[in-house]
Amino acid sequence: MNAENQNTEWKESWRDEYLKWICGFANAQGGTIVIGKNDGGDIVGVSDAAKLMEDIPNKVRDVLGIVVDVNRHQQNGLEYLEITVEPYPYPVNYKGQYHYRSGSTKQELKGAALNKFILQKTGRHWDSVPVLNVTINDLDSRAFDNFRKRATRSKRVEESVLGEKNEALLEHLRLTENQHLKRAAVLLFHPDPERFITGAYIKIGFFENQVDLLYQDEIHGTLFEQVEKTMDLLLTKYMRAIVSYEGIGRIETYLFPEAALREALLNAVAHKDYSSGNPIQIKVYDHKLSLWNTGHIPEGWSVEKFLNIHSSSPNNPDIANTFFRAGMIESWGRGIYKIINECEKAHVPAPTYEFYWGGIEVHFTAVKSSVKSSVKGSEKSSEKILKLVSDNNQMTIAELALAVGISTRAIEKQISKLKNSKQLARIGGDNGGYWQVLNPTP
């Protein structure tokens, strides 16, 4: 042992308050406390090793209710003790306090952190806890109708089950326990879940910059309603769309693919730490969008590892399972990949992820054209394309769509026509190639 770490603590002498450290190790990953060693790692010894060999195990048993190994060692004529603490599968408390070893520090767990810890130690999730004084009659029948319609289309629930009464359906979805509704049932089917769960809503704001908020909305109701209302607001009020026409049909192409945004929103709803009391927050800018929800990354994990586990092992399995059966999210582990694939198909960058303020934020960024277009609106799209690629022969399809003001699909059609009329050629592939403007045909 060359240094103190998350599993090792050094103390020059024994004090009964170090029972808190033993409690912290037992509630975390276990560890070793060395008595008779200073912070520099030097053995200073203890004078009463024999007595401590008897006292420490007894005090740990009487106060904490657990058993530890206390071993006596000698180095350079000095005696010291090693207290080995195993991780315990159930919560261990010190006189009603719950301590936890995190990194090289000991923390006392309180509030939401304590609730979450106790649930994890007892093998339960936050959304599986029963809620008292809420009955099936308090739930929204429209939410059940919505679920049945979606589940019928997804074919992930047997038709015989969907035909049963609401009580039987909730039981089949494992949203009840001992005749009580679970928190997940309240969030999914109650018209006003905030009566029971603080912060169970979504906030959207449009920002001119990092500070100036121009307008905002709050979305309330069942989780099903929140998802649909939020997507509707994003597409109709908050996000800029490029409008194009095919025949008499109007086509709107958004800066961010709708399927990717929906999947990110559903991930936030399923993975949010609802015990925090904080709403999901969405910030929309002119060319970017961010979506934040509470949730913690385990200490020592990389972002990549967290995303893989996060997408395959939801924090709220009852909520996630219900969304899955309704055909609203992909099977575990595919959500993140679906977002990336949808962004690739739309020729926009894949989102990035950031952890702060006890949560995870997903950042979507639109492609900005590097060309300042001075093309007049009266000009044809094909003429605009030729002028743009004359100025910059390495423009991408997505950049051309933004500069011309039509969809990427419409750009591809125009380019095909220009190639057929020998006005434009592509030299090389999509990566590393360039456009070449040819003599136009009369």
3-state class (DSSP) for residue 270: helix
Q: Model confidence over 88-134: pLDDT tens digits?
A: 988 999 999 999 998 888 999 988 788 888 888 888 888 999 998 89
DSSP state, residue 287: S
Radius of gyration of the chain from its Cα atoms, rounded to whole angstroms = 30
Same domain, 266 and 306: yes
Mean pLDDT of the chain: 86
pLDDT over threshold 80, residue 302: no
Q: Is 206 within a domain?
A: yes
Same domain, 387 and 266: no
Confidence of residue 372 (pLDDT cuts 50, 70, 90): very low
Number of separate domains in the chain: 4
Pull the structure tokens for residue 355: 């952890």
Residue 293 pairs in a beta bridge with: 360
CATH code for the domain in which residue 283 is found = 3.30.565.60
Q: How far apart are the first and last CA of the chain?
A: 83
Cβ–Cβ under 8 Å, residues 45 and 37 = no
CATH code for the domain in which residue 404 is found = 1.10.10.10
Q: Is 322 within a domain?
A: no
Q: Is 442 within a domain?
A: no
Same domain, 190 and 337: no
Q: Model confidence over 243-282: pLDDT tens digits?
A: 666 666 666 678 888 999 999 999 899 888 898 889 999 9
Strands 31-35 and 8-11 turn out to be parallel
Same domain, 352 and 236: yes
Same domain, 139 and 190: yes
Q: Is 226 within a domain?
A: yes
Q: Is 419 within a domain?
A: yes
pLDDT at 306: 55
Same domain, 206 and 185: no
pLDDT over threshold 80, residue 328: yes
Cβ–Cβ under 8 Å, residues 130 and 180 = yes
Same domain, 88 and 107: yes
How would you label 2-28 residue by residue, b for 16+ Cβ within 10 Å and e otherwise? eeeebbbbbbbebeeebbbbbbbbbbb
Q: Where is the domain boundary, 177, 195, 213?
A: 195
Same domain, 152 and 261: no
Same domain, 46 and 174: no
Same domain, 353 and 232: yes
Cβ-based burial of 222 (10 A; exposed 0-12, middle 13-18, buried ≥19) = buried
Q: Where is the domain boundary, 57, 89, 121?
A: 121
Same domain, 242 and 306: yes
Q: Model confidence over 340-357: pLDDT tens digits?
A: 889 888 888 888 888 877
Quickly count: other Cβ atoms within 10 Å of residue 132's Cβ: 7
Distance CA 200, CA 183 (A): 11
Residue 81 pairs in a beta bridge with: 35, 72
Q: Where is the domain boundary, 81, 104, 121?
A: 121
Q: Domain range holding 221?
A: 202-315+329-365
3-state class (DSSP) for residue 437: strand
Same domain, 226 and 342: yes
Cβ–Cβ under 8 Å, residues 173 and 325 = yes
Distance CA 214, CA 299 (A): 37
Distance CA 6, CA 236 (A): 50
Pull the structure tokens for residue 16: 């009964």
pLDDT at 371: 33
Q: Is 242 within a domain?
A: yes
